[in-house]
Chain A
Amino acid sequence: MQALDLTRVAAFAALPPRDLTVVARAARIGQYPHGACLFRAGDPCPDAIVVLEGFVRRFRLSPDGLTITTGIVRPGGLASLAPLRGATACDRHAEALGRVRTIELPLPALFALGQRAPHLLAPLARDLIAHLDRAYAELAAGAGAGVAARLLAVLRHLISAGADGGADTARPVAIRLSHADLARLTGADRATVTRCLRTLAARGLVRLERGHVVGVAPAGAERLGPPP
């Protein structure tokens, strides 16, 4: 893999070229089309998987077959938490939302990097905190609440994720997901999601375009909550 790819991840951006080459040699790039599986719960999971491009959905299947999205990982974030928690098997399923590219780095290589330059792990810590914050926001919005509330929580999540990296907070964020994708994310049927989206569009909170949703500007994301 090219050392240049690594510099796109905050954790590696500040590495001197010599270290970048060492990491690049140990890492491999993963490429996944929309909907592809990165890993399944129970799979052995020895690598730290950092998302380079696109979003990764972490989810579980309930005993009655319901898909429950437990988190969405954005670029720069860790898709696989298990190895860092000291677990040997993946704790969730993960699939690509849109086209996804990842850097997959064996844990010993990440640890060696952390030993040499601990400050380089700060961006990874920061991303985990952002992930934790979004999980708390989702819990606060009431994950057991109705479809409208769950949809609002998911949209807030996606908009704030898309707004990262110093983007203009007045610029709308395109959420390149179909109504069916959003239905899977919220655990509801597509028709209900479409109905809820139309209500949100009528309130000027989202714009519906061919095949996907355009979120409001990140600065307006707060207008999406609290749920009605």
Chain B
Amino acid sequence: MNGAGERRKVWYLRRIDLFAGMSKAEVEEIARLLDDHHLPAGAELLRDRRRERVYIIKAGAVRLYAGEGPGEVTLALLGPGRLFGLSTTVGDASPALGAATLEPSYVCFATWGKLLEVFAHHPRVMLQLVGTLAEQVFHAETWIERRAAASPRARLAGLLLELSAEFGEPAEDGAGRRIRFRLTQADLARMIGVSRETVSRLLAEFGRAGWVARREGLLIVRDMAALRAAGEGRQAAD
């Protein structure tokens, strides 16, 4: 790889939590051992059956899903520093997962064995890996909890808050946070296990209340407190 490409790899790696606190030389060493991919929005990653690969997201966002067609279920939305393609490392009976980028993304990948080899020489990264995985388990548990217990209204409110926190940026007019990538009503429906019609009705209700808006196809979350209250099944305090 040319020098500019190498520098870019290092720049991205140093910005993800997994490699936080490492020296430039250490990150350069790791960058040399990992392959990487620049991907457009909508690129599919795990369906090529090269399941021995473990991916780390350097920039962008990836949607993890199971099933297909009307039976498709979104399992997680992952941002920079998160890992996926891990199933092969455990050998459990796990669902065949697909992964698709939600926006232009930059990922690196290696086999689990190679990754462990890298991590074994860098204690801090190994500890960060355990912490990152604990965080991903916690998020998956939160999704299970949301789908098991909450009403569709609370589920959507909770999801919108999570999306704005993880994938939001300040809205252009300064009011609220804009979710960086386009999400259709059907996309949202697949994340919380309700019908598209229900999402449509609830988004209209949230829009009328001024809690969310849509500009040029992108969702803007305006009123976090009201959504937090709705997510917990209560009325927002004035």
Contacts and interface: CB of A to CB of B under 8 A. Distances in A.
A118 B126 contact: yes
B94 A135 contact: no
Contacts of B143: 135, 139
A144 B86 contact: no
Nearest to B126: A118
B78 to A, nearest CB: 11
Chain A interface secondary structure, helix, strand, loop or mixed? Answer: helix
Interface stretch (A1-9, A25-33, A62-70): A62-70
A121 B121 CA distance: 12
Given A71-B137, A122-B116, A139 B75 contact: yes
A203 B92 CA distance: 24
Contacts of A122: 116, 119-120, 126
Interface residues of A, number: 48
Nearest to B143: A139
Contacts of A128: 130, 133-134, 136-137
Contact of A132 (B93, B119, B126, B136): B136
Interface of B: 64, 66-67, 73, 75-76, 86-87, 89-90, 92-95, 97, 116, 119-127, 129-131, 133-138, 140-145, 147-150, 193, 232-234
Given A68-B149, A125-B129, A135-B141, 15 more contacts: A68-B148, A71-B137, A85-B138, A111-B127, A128-B130, A129-B90, A132-B86, A134-B92, A135-B140, A136-B75, A136-B140, A138-B144, A143-B147, A160-B93, A222-B93
Interface of A: 58, 60, 62-64, 66, 68, 70-71, 78, 81, 84-86, 91-92, 111, 114-116, 118-119, 121-122, 124-126, 128-140, 142-144, 156, 160, 187, 221-222
